[in-house]
Structure 1
Amino acid sequence: MPKPTTKTPVRRELVMNQLMEAAERLFAQKGVAGTSLQELADAVGLTRTAIYHYIRGKEDILETLVEGFTLRTARDLRRLAASNTGSAMDRLREAVTGMALIVAQHPQRFRLLLTSEGAFPEPLAKQYRRARRETLAALEELMVQAIKEGSCRPVDPELAAFALVGVSNWVAFWYPRPEGAGAAEPERLAASLADIALQGVLSERTASGDGVAHVIGLLRDDLGRLERMLEGS
C-alpha cells in the first residue's frame, strides 16, 4: 500500500487534525496574534514551507473552527426548523442534542473558538455573527412550532432559545470528567443533556395525569394558547 502523501485526503486530514491540536494548545497559551506559523509548523514536524501545503495562514485555522462549529450548527438548525418531518418537539430535541454533541466531541477546540473571536478577519467575523443569529432564530422558530403543537409550554421562545444554546455551550467548560455524568461518551451525554434541558419547557400534556382537574387545566392551556394566536394574527 503506497504511503499517503501531502496530496491524499488521508494525509491532509491527519495533518489538519495535528495542526488543529497544536493551535488549541498554542493559541490558548500565546493567543492567535502571538503564535507564529513557524511555531505551528514545528509543533507538527513540518517546515515553514511545507505547512503551506495545508494552510495559507492562521486565518485558515480560524475558518476551520467557525465552519466546524458555528456554520455547521446554523445549517443543521435551519434544516430542522424548515422540516415537516416528525413533531416539532422531536426536531427541537434533535437540535439541542446536536449542539451539545458537537461541543462534547471537541470541548477544547470549542473553547478556542470562543476565545479567538477577537482575532477573526472581518469577513469571517461577519459569517460567524450571522450564523449565530441564524442558530438562535432557528431555535426560536422550533420553540414556536412546539408551542403551537402543544408539546411545549407557552414560554418566551427567544429566552428559551438562549437558554438551550447556553446549556449546550457550557459543556465545553466541564466535559469530560473522569467520573459521574461527565465520564459518559459524547453521544450519550448529549442525549441526556437534551432531555434535562427540555424538561423545563415540556407541556404538562407529556406528563402523566388524569381526573377532571387535570383535564380542565389542559383546556385552560389550550384556550390561553388560542387567545395568544388570535392576538398575533
Structure 2
Amino acid sequence: MAKPTIRSAGRHDLVLEQLMEAAETLFARQGVAGTSLQELADAVGLTRTGIYHYISGKEDILEQLVRGFTLEAAESLGELAESTETSAAERLHQAVASMATRVAEHPKRFRLLLTNEDSFPESLARQHRSARRATLEAMCSLIDQCKREGSCRPVDTELTAFALIGTANWVAFWYPRSGRDRLTPVQAGDQLADIALEGVLGDRPNADGPAVPAALALLKEDVARLEQLLAETDS
C-alpha cells in the first residue's frame, strides 16, 4: 500500500478539522445522540460513504475532543511537574497559561467536551477521568514545589489547584469577548495566569537557599526592620 502523500495527509487533517467544527454546531444544537453521521457528512460536503474515510463514527469525534484537551493537558502538565529546567513558580505560570490558551483557541469545542461527558463510551470516559486526575496531581505537585522553593504563599494545595484549573476552564465561557477582544489566545492565557497567580505566589523576592532557611531569613529582615522603626519612633 502506498504511503499517503503530504498533500493527502494535509487534506485528511483539513477535513477532520471541518468535521470538528460541524460537530461543534450540530452537537451543541441537537446533542450527540440526536446528530446523525449523514448530517455531519452533509455539513462538510461528504457522502455517507465518504465520511468513513475520516471517522468510523461519532465516537471518533468525542475521542478527538478528549485527546485535544484532557489527555494533552495532562501530558503537558506532567512534563512541567517533572522538569527542573526553570523555577517551580515559572513552571506553574506556564501550566496555567498553557491550559487557558488551549481553551481559548477552541472555546466552543471545549464547551462541547464539558456538555457531552455523559455521552462518552466507557473506555473513553475512563481515559478522560484518569487524565483529569493526572492534571490535578500535576498541578498539586507544581504548587507544592513552589512551597518548597519559597515562592508560594501558605495556601491549601488541592484547593488552589482546583481554583487554577477552574480559572483556565472558565475561559470557554467568555472568550472571545464579543466585538471588543483583541487579545490572542496566547495573550489571554498569559494575562489570565498573571491574575490567577497573584494570590498564590509570594509578592516579595525569595532569599537564596531552601524554603525554611529562606523564610527565616525573610523573617529576620522583618524583625530588624521593625526594631529600626521602633527605635526611630522612640527617638
Normalised-by-shorter TM-score class? 0.7 to 0.9
Look up the match of 2:93. 93
Find out whether 1:104 has 2:97 as its counterpart.
no
C-alpha deviation, 1:7, in angstroms: 7.9
Question: How far apart are 1:77 and its partner, in Å?
Answer: 0.4
Partner of 1:231: none
Partner of 1:40: 40
Question: Which ranges of 4 or more aligned residues in structure 1 deviate by more than 4 Å?
Answer: 4-7
SS in 1 for 2:201: coil
- Separation in 2, partners of 1:42, 1:5: 26
Alignment of 1:151-230 (within 5 A): 151-178=151-178, 182-206=181-205, 218-219=218-219
**Alpha-carbon separation, structure 2, partners of 1:76 and 1:188:** 19
In 2, Cα distance between equivalents of 1:27 and 1:9: 26
Structure 2 CA distance for partners of 1:155 and 1:20, relative to 1, 3 Å:
same
Question: In the TM superposition, what is the alpha-carbon distance from 1:98 to its structure 2 partner?
Answer: 0.4
- What is the DSSP-based 3-state SS (H/G/I as helix, E as strand, rest coil) of the residue aligned with 2:20? helix
Identical pairs, percent: 62
Q: Distance in 1 between matches of 2:85 and 2:5?
A: 43
Q: State the distance in 2 between where 1:89 and 1:66 align.
A: 28
User: Aligned partners of 2:106 and 2:46: how far apart in 1?
Assistant: 24
Q: 1:15 to 1:77 in 2, by over 3 A?
A: same
1:16-41: per-residue Cα shift (whole Å, max 9, x none)? 01100000000000000000000000
Q: Distance in 2 between matches of 1:76 and 1:6?
A: 27
Correspondence for 1:113: 113
5+ long unaligned stretches in structure 1? 208-214, 221-233
Q: Write out per-residue CA displacement over residues 66-97 of structure 1, whole angstroms, 9 at most, x where no aligned residue.
A: 00000000000000001111100000011001
Counterpart in the other structure of 1:210:
none
Q: Counterpart of 1:132?
A: 132
Q: Alpha carbon RMSD of aligned pairs, Å?
A: 2.2
Q: Secondary structure at the match of 1:205?
A: coil
Return the alpha-carbon distance in structure 2 between the equivalents of residues 7 and 191 of structure 1. 35
5+ residue gaps in structure 2? 207-214, 221-235
Q: TM-score, normalised by structure 1?
A: 0.85
From the superposition, tell whether residues 6 and 78 of structure 1 become closer, same or farther in structure 2 (CA, over 3 Å).
Answer: closer
**Is 1:6–1:12's contact at 8 Å kept on the other side of the alignment?**
no
Aligned residues: 210
